[in-house]
Structure 1
Amino acid sequence: MTARSICVFCGSRPGKNPAYMADAEVFGTIIARQNWRLVYGAGDVGLMGAVARATQAAGGETFGVMPDSLFDREIGKTDLTHYVLTETMHERKKVMFMNCGAVVVLPGGAGSLDEFFEVLTWRQIGLHEKPIFLLNTKGYWDKLIQLIDHVIDQDFADGSLREFVQVADTVENLEKGLEKALG
């Protein structure tokens, strides 16, 4: 099931623009419709909660991973198909990543950036070949994409770094990209 599982990193808050929540809900429905499994941080708040609830409502499988220390803050969602409790954030990221075939990053904050850069770095140093997608809802990730291009332009990374990240401006384009990547 790992190959057809999508690891979603995203905000534990809804963000300012209602489009972020709307896209999270639509994407959760797509995950279920495509018979993919959602792998995520097991929170029931913000975009995390929205994508999980939408996946469940559409009959999809959910795999949540939560560190003990965040259970109360992120309102641990234990009614998932699979629920794993970890000791640390690092362990959480590792379990999530090891149980997926592709990574999708929806809008989010420092935690989502940490997760994104960790899997991107692992890809850069050859530890995996899993596809990494940014859902660039309403241009949310534009500055991040510019930063990656700047890092390459300033010769702190090879141009291949940019090729490791696929950007989708809409949920529909994200779905098409994932269909192609997952076969």
Structure 2
Amino acid sequence: MTDVDDLSDKRDVSSYGHWSVSSYKQGFGVDQLQSDSFEHYWQSDGPQPHLLTIKFPRRIPIQQISLYLDFKQDESYTPSRLSIRSGTSFQDLHELKLIDLDEPSGWINVPIQEDPDTESSKPLKTQLLQIAVLANHQNGKDTHIRQIKIFGPPLRSIFEVEGFPAFSSVEFQMHSTIR
């Protein structure tokens, strides 16, 4: 898993989706989860599994999901087992990854690709993404997730053609688009 700061080949597509959660305690909802502060977090309120759903207006390519978790601060509220699911609607959701975590602290980066059984690095195109918290450390009931970011491939210039290098200088990039 890579450091979240190594994003030269990715762009944040988190804001393109409509986010919802299965439950939350007052003052600890989606807005806190999307905050850029690690002091804010989503806290669920109810029976497991706790669900976080992101619905995009159209199919969008996804390369990586990054979650910020902090076992030292959250202890029994820290997820220990996650399921990442994808589909075009709730009726065709399928599990992409099942992740077991052991006292995570910091960014957990989960690469997402079209076909996980091959070496392909093609991004997954999805319209509905769901993260399910199946279990917490120390058998905790509610969960804390401090941040989630969703990354897709970078936007390409209309002048980038396969076999030709992309413009790398700022001056060339400024003149690479049609007005």
TM-score bracket relative to the smaller structure: under 0.3
Q: Which has the higher contact order (CA 8 A, sep 6+)?
A: 2
Higher percent of residues as strand? 2
* TM-score, normalised by the number of residues in structure 2: 0.25
Structure number with greater Rg is 2
